[in-house]
């Protein structure tokens, strides 16, 4: 203990308080043969062994262990890991990082995302063993990654979201009803609408909030609608097309919620290989399918009201309220308090002051270029002509914001914006403006164009094709598109 305190009294070279390190110094690494022993000590219950291991790390000034100590801190708070020598861990973490953040895991996690640090070898296994103390399958997700080629994310940024795998049960091939039989839906309540393979379908938000994943079929073709309520996003993916080479070629996948998050975004897993996939990116990021770099094709979805969707698609089907699960399917019941609040539940990464973290944006990515349009600005303008890289685009949000008033258990009545009916299209050389009709635009020559799900359709049959995009909170969009632009209200 005396040796540890002496080491803590000495400043580490190149690590000033308040100046976050960008990378560790390879010359100061703990020898490879000693790394496993440090892990073993930190996972154990021997306070003396823990302090000795910390002293060795501090003696070397090996900042790779910052990630290890942040993980140790988190699991000490969860009471799932031994908390012996807790204060010594915190002090060692502060000395290595040069940051006076104490035992505030949330702030440590956000700070770490802004660094270029990497953990020492064996970190994924260490983290998996800690996760396994919560639930064995959580640890197994990490253990399935066999080699660096099956890891397409920073494992330090994987968080446990508080539920076990499947704890938010997906709906697979749910029962459907016609619009006329969905009498329980209120005209102004939120639904997510999708048209594919000639079929229109509405997914009520009050159901999707409880399940977050729907493994569905459109004219026999598998499609999964994946939502992340924490991120304010829902994206539909084609899951039955040829996805990659080898064993994955031609495979159709159904998905479930893993209970894990990455940069605040849900990680889902496929039932066949139990690889982890990013909800926002639609790609395999950890496990057997990550090696092939598999990615799903997104389909455009809109957030709108039941009244507006039924008006545009009178032949729509709807997910039945009888899901086979006992839930309080009232609007806003599970997440209304979170949706109405500016607070975050999990670390959101590097803060970008251009927008508030939970400002809603509509994001589009094309050929390596990303842009976010603030939702309130889109709804106020109705139609926005813009460019994204070399692509000229037009965004249509002529029906305004979708607002929800809900009664939430323990919170009471809340109000929040659930989204807006936004669609993005290629516009070529045309410029569009709104008309008195929500589903009709006019081009620069005054000619009417009809707003359809797959394209803007001109009077002579011209087509401006639809582009996939997604609604999301700003913190989530920015975390996965760090180079994104933000529309500032001017048109080209």
Tens of pLDDT, residue by residue over 333-390, are 999 999 999 999 999 877 899 999 999 999 999 989 999 999 999 999 999 999 999 9
Q: Is 232 in contact with 243 (CB distance < 8 Å)?
A: no
The chain-wide mean pLDDT, for the chain, equals: 91
Cβ atoms of 249 and 243 within 8 Å: the answer is: yes
pLDDT in tens, 138-166: 999 999 998 999 999 999 999 999 999 99
Q: Where are the alpha helices (DSSP H) in 173-217?
A: 205-211
pLDDT by residue (tens digit) across 166-183? Answer: 999 999 999 999 999 999
d(CA 301, CA 322): 23
Residue 246's pLDDT is what? 52
DSSP state of 224: E
Cα–Cα dist 296/307, whole Å: 31
Say what the pTM is.
Answer: 0.92
- 268, 369, 385, 430, 492 from 392: Cα distances, Å: 33, 12, 8, 9, 9
Mapped onto helix, strand or coil, the DSSP state of residue 262 is strand
User: Nearest Cα to 111, choosing from 26, 19, 207, 226?
Assistant: 19
In 3-state terms the chain splits into helix, strand, coil percentages (rounded to 5) of: 30, 30, 40
CA–chain centroid gap for 103, Å, is 26
Cα–Cα distance, 262 to 264 (Å, whole number): 5
User: Distance (Å, rounded) from C-alpha 269 to C-alpha 286?
Assistant: 9
Nearest 5°: phi and psi at 178?
-75, 165
Nearest partner of 397 among 345, 352, 360, judged by Cα:
360
Task: Give CA–CA dist 476/363, Å, rounded.
Answer: 10
CA 15 remoteness from chain centre: 32
Q: Which two tokens mark 415?
A: 């109000």
Predicted local distance difference test score (pLDDT) of residue 1: 39
Q: What is the pLDDT of residue 2?
A: 32
Percent of the chain with pLDDT over 90: 84
């Amino acid at each position: 203990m005396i040796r540890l305190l002496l080491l803590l009294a000495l400043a580490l070279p190149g690590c000033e308080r308040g100046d976050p390190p960008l990378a560790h110094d390879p010359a100061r690494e703990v020898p490879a043969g000693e790394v496993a022993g440090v892990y073993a000590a930190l996972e154990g219950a021997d306070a003396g062994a823990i302090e000795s291991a910390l002293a060795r790390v501090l003696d070397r000034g090996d900042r790779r262990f910052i990630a290890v100590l942040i993980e140790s801190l988190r699991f000490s708070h969860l009471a799932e890991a031994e908390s012996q020598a807790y204060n010594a861990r915190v002090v060692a973490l502060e000395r290595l990082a040069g940051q006076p953040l104490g035992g505030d895991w949330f702030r440590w996690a956000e700070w770490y995302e802004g660094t270029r640090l990497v953990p020492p070898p064996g970190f994924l296994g260490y983290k998996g063993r800690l996760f396994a103390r919560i639930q064995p399958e959580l640890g197994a997700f990490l253990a399935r990654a066999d080699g660096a080629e099956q890891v397409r994310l920073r494992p330090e940024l994987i968080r446990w979201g508080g539920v076990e795998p499947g704890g938010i049960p997906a709906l697979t091939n749910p029962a459907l009803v016609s619009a006329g039989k969905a009498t329980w839906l209120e005209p102004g309540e939120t639904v997510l609408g999708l048209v594919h393979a000639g079929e229109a379908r509405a997914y009520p938000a009050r159901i999707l909030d409880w399940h977050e994943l729907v493994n569905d079929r459109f004219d026999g073709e598998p499609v999964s609608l994946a939502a992340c309520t924490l991120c304010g996003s829902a994206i539909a993916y084609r899951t039955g097309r040829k996805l990659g080479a080898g064993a994955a070629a031609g495979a159709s996948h159904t998905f479930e919620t893993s209970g894990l998050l990455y940069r605040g975004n849900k990680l889902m897993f496929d039932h066949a290989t139990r690889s982890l996939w990013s909800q926002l990116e639609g790609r395999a990021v950890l496990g057997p399918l990550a090696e092939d770099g598999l990615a799903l094709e997104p389909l455009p979805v809109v957030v709108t009201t039941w009244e507006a969707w039924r008006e545009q698609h009178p032949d729509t089907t709807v997910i039945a309220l009888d899901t086979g699960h006992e839930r309080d399917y009232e609007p806003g019941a599970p997440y209304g308090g979170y949706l109405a609040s500016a607070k975050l539940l999990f670390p959101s990464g590097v803060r970008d002051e251009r927008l508030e973290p939970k400002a809603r944006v509509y994001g589009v990515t094309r050929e390596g270029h990303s842009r976010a349009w603030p939702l309130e600005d889109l709804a106020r303008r109705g139609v926005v002509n813009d460019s994204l890289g070399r692509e000229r685009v037009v965004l249509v949000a002529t029906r305004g914001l979708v607002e929800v008033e809900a009664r939430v258990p323990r919170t009471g009545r809340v109000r929040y914006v659930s989204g807006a009916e936004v669609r993005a299209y290629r516009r070529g050389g045309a410029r569009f403006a709104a008309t008195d009709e929500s589903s009709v635009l006019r081009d620069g020559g005054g000619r009417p164009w009809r707003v359809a799900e797959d394209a803007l359709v001109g009077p002579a049959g011209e087509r401006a094709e639809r582009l996939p995009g997604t609604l999301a909170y700003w913190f989530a969009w920015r975390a996965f598109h760090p180079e994104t632009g933000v529309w500032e209200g001017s048109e080209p």
